[in-house]
């Protein structure tokens, strides 16, 4: 129990009732008074009623009068010192309030006006005891909170000498459980109270339905997951199915060979790709026809291709790597599709790994958003049209396409969008028509063409959440508050603007 709670109870005991808390506890903040009254009331110690009282503060002018005298008295003193005062000099001598003083001094019969437009003291005012500064006296009463006639209050308000102030005041009487000590109320029924039966006599604190609840503890989605969810919805809305992407380790075969990446390609270097040490190898697909086709298409060419003309080695294919792109999964899924070829739309959004220098916007691992669309006799025109539809779902329009090179697609195109903020075209994705050297070894019919594209998940996320440094988005420096307080992502307005 706080000292003040006890003080309230003591006063109530001594006085029988407290008629005005502002009078009895003049120095206590009314807010604190109220909270103590409420808690004592909850314990049945007292009840109270609220009365609003009005007191007055002095305005700046009111304070000035209180300290230096009213304008009218100042004017009388001045005329007394000077004998006479030209009316036109009143303001220059006494300031803008001189005219107020002049009017009130006339009203009090303290001054008269001569024919020469001068002010002189009246006979009455020549007796100094006749000059009573009523304005100053009344302001003194105001600050002492003495009772004052309503008319006078209205006049002082009109003259802007006082400012009304509302005060919450309370009158307090003893409650049914009044005593000078506080029994601590119980807040919960415990199993002990039930077994001992003590709950029967226990005092329970009443519910406070006005209290603010505690924010419920809950998990929060990482911003990357929020944006990922938006992309998923876009894919689903366009009839795509999600590929199983929960496999970070792949054979070099699915990551590279199946995609017609030659075994001496620089992307397969240790500097670019993370290789697994233990185990370092895994099995190749059991589909013998497929394996022979891959070997053939790499070595001497097949399906109208002249191949790379080098010695393809199965051991190189068996090496385990951390997948460098999700296209490894797309390849395995297309190989499955070859058993029952038909128009298909697949997507994945998951993590990939590249042995790259880490900087403000790049880590050695990131997430790719990848889509694959298979249909009969589709062309580059369909790819362009489809990309425009896909990116329009994120509010990104006016795309431009630039030829590029991927070992597994031909033609290949980088996708650009105009970045209003940067004032330039920025690359937002990579795409292409998968090569016959990749599709035909699987057994897919020649006229079932497959287009694919990919983009990073981090880039739109960083733009969306205005994160400048990737380390603020991923890793040990990420603020949990940032993760918990971010709103859900909406990709419906132009992301790259």
* Contact positions vs ligand PHE (CB under 6 A): 325, 327, 370, 406, 409, 430-432, 452-454
Nearer to ligand PHE, 432 or 441 (CB): 432
Rank residues 56 and 453 by Cβ distance to ligand PHE and give the closer one. 453
Taking the complex as a whole, the smallest distance from the CB of residue 330 to ligand PHE amounts, in Å, to: 7
Q: How far apart are CA 136 and CA 140, in angstroms?
A: 6
Shortest distance, position 267 Cβ to ligand PHE, whole Å: 9
Nearest to 162 by CA among 190, 141, 180: 141
**127 token code pair:** 């007796």
Element (H, E) at 236: helix 223-237
Q: Which is nearer to ligand PHE, 436 or 452 (CB)?
A: 452
| Least CB distance to ligand PHE at residue 409 (A) | 5
Cα 369 from chain centroid? 27
* Shortest distance in whole angstroms from residue 453 CB to ligand PHE: 5
Is-contact 89 57, C-beta < 8 A? no
H or E element in which residue 198 lies: none
Q: Residue 184 in contact with residue 204, Cβ under 8 Å?
A: no
Q: How far is the CB of 455 from ligand PHE (least distance, A)?
A: 8
Asked if residue 411 has a cis previous peptide bond (ω within 30° of 0), the answer is yes
Asked if residues 265 and 355 have their Cβ atoms less than 8 Å apart, the reply is no
What's the burial of 447, exposed, middle or buried (CB within 10 Å: 0-12/13-18/19+)?
exposed
Angle at 480 between CA 474 and CA 484, to 5 degrees: 105
Q: Which is nearer to ligand PHE, 70 or 348 (CB)?
A: 348
CB nearer ligand PHE, residue 97 or residue 409? 409
Residue 314 C-beta: closest distance to ligand PHE, Å: 24
Residue 170 or 453 with smaller CB distance to ligand PHE: 453
Tokens of 206: 């009443």
Closest CA to 110 of 66, 64, 79: 79
Q: Which position's Cβ is nearest ligand PHE?
A: 454
Q: How far is the CB of 265 from ligand PHE (least distance, A)?
A: 13
Closest to 206 (Cα-Cα) out of 187, 193, 190: 187
Q: How many angstroms separate the CA atoms of 134 and 132, rounded?
A: 6
Give the CA dihedral 301, 302, 304, 308, nearest 10 degrees.
Answer: -20
Answer whether 279's CB lies under 8 Å from 321's CB: no
Positive or negative CA dihedral for 331, 332, 338, 343?
Answer: negative
CA dist list (Å): 32 to 41, 182, 353, 448 = 14, 18, 60, 79
Cβ nearer to ligand PHE, comparing 105 with 352: 352
Sign, CA torsion 295/298/299/305:
positive
Q: By C-beta, is 307 or 454 nearer to ligand PHE? A: 454
Work out how close the CB of 408 gets to ligand PHE at its nearest, in angstroms, rounded to a whole number. Answer: 7
Cα–Cα distances in angstroms (integers) from residue 432 to residues 141, 190, 427, 454, 463, in the given order: 90, 68, 15, 9, 25
Supply the minimum distance, in Å, between the C-beta of residue 368 and ligand PHE.
Answer: 6
Task: Kindly provide the b/e burial profile for residues 33-71, where b requires at least 16 CB atoms within 10 angstroms of the residue's own CB.
Answer: beebbebbeebbbbebeeeeeeebebbeebebbbeebbb
Nearer to ligand PHE, 252 or 452 (CB): 452
* Residue 448 Cβ vs ligand PHE, minimum distance, rounded to whole Å: 16
Residues 273, 291: contact at Cβ < 8 Å?
no
Residue 108 or 431: the one with the smaller Cβ distance to ligand PHE is: 431
Nearer Cβ to ligand PHE (19/345): 345
Name which of 370 and 437 has its Cβ closer to ligand PHE. Answer: 370
Distance CA 14, CA 6 (A): 12
């Amino acid at each position: 129990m706080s000292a003040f709670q006890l003080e309230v109870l003591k006063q109530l005991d001594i006085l029988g009732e407290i008629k005005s808390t502002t009078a009895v506890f003049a120095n206590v903040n009314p807010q604190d008074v109220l909270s103590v009254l409420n808690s004592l009331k909850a314990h049945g110690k007292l009840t109270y009623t609220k009365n609003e009282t009005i007191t007055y503060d002095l305005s700046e002018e009111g304070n000035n009068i209180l300290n230096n005298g009213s304008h009218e008295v100042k004017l009388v003193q001045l005329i007394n010192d000077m004998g006479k005062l030209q009316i036109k000099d009143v303001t220059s001598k006494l300031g803008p309030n001189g005219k107020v003083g002049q009017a009130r001094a006339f009203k009090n019969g303290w001054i008269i006006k001569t024919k020469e437009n001068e002010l002189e003291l009246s006979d009455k005012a020549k007796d100094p005891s006749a000059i009573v500064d009523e304005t100053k006296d009344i302001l003194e009463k105001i600050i002492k909170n003495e009772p004052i006639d309503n008319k006078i209050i209205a006049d002082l308000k009109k003259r802007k000498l006082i400012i009304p102030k509302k005060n919450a005041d309370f009158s307090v009487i003893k409650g049914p459980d009044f005593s000078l000590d506080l029994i601590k109320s119980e807040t919960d029924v415990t199993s002990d109270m039930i077994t001992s039966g003590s709950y029967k006599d226990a005092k329970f604190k009443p519910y406070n339905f006005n209290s603010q609840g505690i924010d419920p503890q809950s998990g929060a989605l990482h911003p990357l997951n929020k944006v990922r969810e938006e992309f998923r919805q876009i894919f689903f809305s366009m009839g795509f199915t999600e590929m199983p992407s929960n496999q970070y380790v792949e054979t070099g075969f699915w990551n590279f060979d199946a995609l017609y990446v030659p075994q001496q390609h620089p992307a397969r270097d240790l500097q670019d790709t993370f290789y697994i040490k233990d185990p370092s190898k895994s099995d190749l697909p059991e589909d013998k026809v497929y394996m022979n086709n891959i070997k053939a298409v790499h070595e001497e060419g097949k399906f109208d291709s002249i191949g790379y003309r080098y010695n393809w080695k199965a051991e190189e294919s068996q090496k385990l790597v951390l997948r460098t792109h999700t296209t490894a999964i797309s390849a395995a899924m297309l190989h499955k599709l070859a058993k029952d070829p038909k128009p298909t739309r697949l997507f994945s959004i998951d993590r990939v790994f590249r042995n790259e220098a880490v900087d403000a916007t790049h880590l050695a691992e990131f997430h790719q958003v990848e889509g694959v669309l298979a249909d009969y006799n589709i062309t580059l025109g369909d790819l362009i049209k489809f990309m425009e539809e896909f990116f329009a779902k994120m509010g990104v329009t006016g795309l431009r396409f630039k030829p590029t090179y991927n070992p597994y697609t031909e033609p290949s195109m980088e996708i650009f969008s105009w970045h209003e903020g940067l004032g330039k075209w920025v690359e937002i994705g990579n795409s292409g028509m998968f090569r016959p050297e990749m599709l035909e070894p699987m057994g897919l019919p020649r006229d079932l063409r497959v287009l694919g594209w990919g983009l990073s998940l981090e880039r739109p996320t960083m733009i969306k959440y205005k994160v400048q440094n990737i380390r603020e988005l991923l890793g040990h420096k990420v603020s949990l508050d940032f993760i918990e307080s971010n709103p859900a992502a909406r990709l419906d307005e132009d992301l790259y603007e």
